Amino acid sequence: MSARATAARRPAAPAKRVRLGLYSKIAIGCKDLSIDEEARRDLMAARYGKRSMTALSVGELEDLLAYLKAQGFRPTRSARGPKRAGGRPLADAPEAKKARALWLSLYHLAVVRNPQEGALAAFGQRQTGKAALQWIRGDWRKVIEALKDMAAREAGVDWRPYKIGFTTLEKPRCRVIEAQWRILGKLGVVVADSHALSAYVSRFAGRPAGISVLNLSDAEADRLIEQFGQRIRKAQAEGPGS
């Protein structure tokens, strides 16, 4: 029997089985590194522009697993084995999650180029002198305020709450979207006025015309921030007149 015939008879690993194996390893890795579902989705959005593992290609899943290994995940380590020597669990304090969200917003505003945890840790060290996010503890306010100041200074984000009659609304995601829209206007991608943004938001959310960013859910706002971030980076890469 020829080598070609032998190879043809040899069963190939089903693609579904490969994907399921990667899903399982990634889930274990995220748990091992204390990366919750929201943080995992933010990580995928930053690296691949997708928030669901089912939307990732096999290559992207393998890249995500490699990233987790680089952060200290050891797939073959037993549950009762020794602690990692080269990695720490991600800081999971509420302030740490807020700092990550702000860092990703800065990425989608094209203020920072690297959305990954290491870059945020380096920023935190410059602000506090602490070499790891886990050590910041009482200095989180300093880091968060520095991130907000950077967004306001470099991207024009207005962090003030919205005033509707006698009601005050804290909607920081909406403020990021408004700043992104202004940036897209300066890049010549859109007409940067509030009416045009309202029309875009209505189409994006599949809602009746005339709604505003304030009508978006947090999940919808996050998706729009990612979409606008991609458009901003693409327009900047192409340059004027492209």
pLDDT (tens digit, 9 = 90+) per residue, 10-34?
444 577 888 888 898 888 888 776 6
Query: Does one domain contain both 114 and 57?
Result: no
Domain co-membership, 38 together with 69: yes
Answer whether residue 115 is part of any domain: yes
Range list of H helices, the chain = 3-9, 15-32, 37-48, 58-70, 94-108, 117-128, 140-155, 172-186, 194-205, 218-238
Rounded to whole angstroms, the Cα distance separating 110 from 127 reads: 21
Torsion from C-alpha of 219, 223, 224, 230, nearest 10 degrees? 160
Domain range holding 191? 158-238
Distance between first and last Cα of the chain: 57
Please, what is the angle between helix 117-128 and helix 94-108, to 10°?
110
Domain end position, chosen among 50, 75, 100? 75
- pTM here is 0.63
Mark whether 164 and 133 lie in a shared domain.
Answer: no
110 lies in some domain: yes
Each residue's pLDDT tens digit, 36-62: 787 788 888 878 888 888 899 888 888
**Which among 191, 196, 180 is positioned nearest to 236, based on CA atoms?**
180
Runs of H (alpha helix) within 49-160? 58-70, 94-108, 117-128, 140-155
Per-residue model confidence as pLDDT tens digits over 76-87: 644 333 333 334
Claim to verify: residue 170 and residue 228 sit in the same structural domain? yes
Domain membership flag for residue 208: yes
Are 163 and 140 in the same domain?
Answer: no
236 Cβ contact list (under 8 Å, min separation 6):
110, 187
State the chain's maximal CA–CA distance in angstroms: 84
The two tokens of residue 69 are 């290994």
- Looking at 116, 139, 154, which one is the last position of a domain? 154
Whether 172 and 234 map to the same domain: the answer is yes
Domain boundary among 154, 169, 184: 154
Instruction: State whether 96 and 130 are in the same domain.
Output: yes
Q: What is the mean pLDDT of the chain?
A: 82
Instruction: Note whether 148 and 195 are same-domain residues.
Output: no
Phi and psi at residue 60, in whole multiples of 5°? Answer: -70, -40
Tell me, yes or no, whether 132 lies in a domain. yes
pLDDT in tens, 91-101: 556 788 888 89
Same domain for 44 and 106, yes or no, is no
Cβ proximity of 109 and 157 under 8 Å:
yes
The reply to whether 193 and 150 lie within a common domain is no
Position 32 in a domain: yes
Domain count, the chain: 3
Q: Is residue 8 part of a domain?
A: no
Residue 83 lies in a domain: no
For residues 210 and 163, the answer to whether their CB atoms sit within 8 Å is: no
Number of CB atoms found within 10 A of residue 32's CB? 19
pLDDT at residue 46 in the model? 79
Query: Does residue 168 lie within any of the structural domains?
Result: yes
Q: Are residues 174 and 226 in the same domain?
A: yes
163 & 219 share domain: yes
